[in-house]
Amino acid sequence: MKKLLLHPAAKPVVFFACLLPFIWLFYSALTNQLGANPAEALIRATGDWTLRFLCIVLAVTPLRVISNTPALARFRRMLGLFVYFYVLLHLLSYSWFDMSFDVADIVKDIIKRPFILVGFAAFLLLTPLAATSFNAAIRQLGAKRWQMLHKLVYLIAGLGLLHFFWMRSGKNDFAEVSVYAAIIAALLGWRVWQRWGRRKRSAGPHPAAARRLQ
């Protein structure tokens, strides 16, 4: 497995796999296979894939650590850019099919509807992360500041989940929301547990315990 991940062809294969949802949606739109309301189907599907890729990105580090597979880190940046790719498609689909690219109406709709406002806020926060997902940006910002900036992904995950929750609350359908919430909670909970463990180890034994060990 580790050798496969390090193979030169691994990145192109993962890149193509990440494009498959887009290819399928594009083909389905061309062949009228998106159902009775293709506009809604496209908006919904691109939003779903944004959230799915966000979960995949958050899962890279836990999987890398648990499976002791450092090579997985090679794909994190590319997967993060695919989050942005699908959120752009989501925003484009909404702006085109729902709002006919009427900027004034889009602005009014964002302000008027909280779930769209939250989704748009997540998009805005994702933009600097996508713009700095390159080695030149890391060098310019410095590793520490770059890492701090990219911790916004945790806030973005929460906003994306809230956007999805509010969108589904209109139909009183929370089944998928619960699945994504459980996945994101588990992934973020793992990070909290890891950080707590590192702090506990770095703090060393309690002074009283240390005296007993002497």
pLDDT in tens, 139-184: 999 989 999 999 999 999 999 999 999 988 877 788 999 999 999 9
DSSP string of 126-166, one letter each residue: HHHHHHT-SHHHHHHH-HHHHHHHHTHHHHHHHHHHHHHHH
Residues with Cβ within 8 Å of residue 63, at least 6 apart in sequence = 69, 72
Q: Tell me, what's the pLDDT at 213?
A: 44
pTM of the model: 0.90
Q: What pLDDT digit, counting tens, does each position of 113-126 carry? A: 999 999 999 999 99
Residue 211, pLDDT above cutoff 70: no
The tokens describing 198, both together, are 């590192």
Q: What pLDDT digit, counting tens, does each position of 175-195 carry? A: 999 999 999 999 999 998 988
Q: What pLDDT digit, counting tens, does each position of 8-36 carry? A: 889 999 999 999 999 999 999 999 999 99
| Ramachandran angles phi, psi of 108, nearest 5° | -60, -40
The tokens describing 148, both together, are 């701090």
Residues counted in the chain: 214
